[in-house]
Amino acid sequence: MIAALLAPPALAKERKVENYSSTIADFKKIPEVAKFFGNAHAYAVFPKVGKGGLGIGASHGKGQVYVGGKVIGFTSTSDISIGLQAGGQAYSQIIFFQNSEALDKFTSGKFEFAASASAIAVQSTAGATTGTEGSGASASGSKTGEKHTANAEHQDGILVFTMAKGGLMYAATIAGQKYSYEPVNAPAKK
pLDDT (average), residues 138-148: 34
The 8-class DSSP code of residue 75 comes to: E
In this structure, is residue 154 part of a structural domain?
A: yes
Asked which of 70-74, 79-83, 125-129, 163-167 is least confident by mean pLDDT, the reply is: 125-129
User: Could you count the other beta carbons within 10 Å of the beta carbon of residue 98?
Assistant: 19
pLDDT (average), residues 82-88: 71
In this structure, is residue 1 part of a structural domain?
A: no
CA distance 177 to 111: 8
Total of domains in the chain = 1
Q: What is the model's pTM?
A: 0.74
In this structure, is residue 33 part of a structural domain?
A: yes
CA distance 102 to 28: 22
pLDDT (average), residues 74-92: 82
In this structure, is residue 128 part of a structural domain?
A: yes
CA distance 169 to 111: 25
Question: At 105, is the pLDDT very low, low, confident or very high (cuts 50, 70, 90)?
Answer: very high
Pairing of strands 70-97, 158-169: antiparallel
Asked which of 17-26, 40-49, 77-86, 177-186 is least confident by mean pLDDT, the reply is: 77-86
CA distance 16 to 74: 9
In this structure, is residue 141 part of a structural domain?
A: yes
The 8-class DSSP code of residue 126 comes to: T
Q: Give the E-state strand segments of 3-127 in sequence order.
A: 42-67, 70-97, 111-112, 120-122
pLDDT score for 99 = 96
pLDDT score for 146 = 42
Mean pLDDT of the chain: 75
pLDDT score for 119 = 81
**Residue 64 bridge partners (DSSP):** 45, 74
pLDDT score for 153 = 66
Q: What percent of the chain has pLDDT over 90?
A: 41
In this structure, is residue 161 part of a structural domain?
A: yes
| Crossing angle (nearest 10°) for helices 31-39 and 21-28 | 120
8 Å CB contact between 20 and 163:
no
pLDDT tens digits, 155-179: 789 999 988 886 555 444 676 788 9
pLDDT score for 176 = 73
State the residue range of the domain holding 32.
19-183
pLDDT score for 102 = 95
The answer to whether residue 129 scores a pLDDT higher than 60 is: no
In this structure, is residue 34 part of a structural domain?
A: yes
CA distance 8 to 63: 25
The 8-class DSSP code of residue 132 comes to: S
Backbone φ, ψ for residue 72 (5° rounding)? -110, -15
In this structure, is residue 23 part of a structural domain?
A: yes
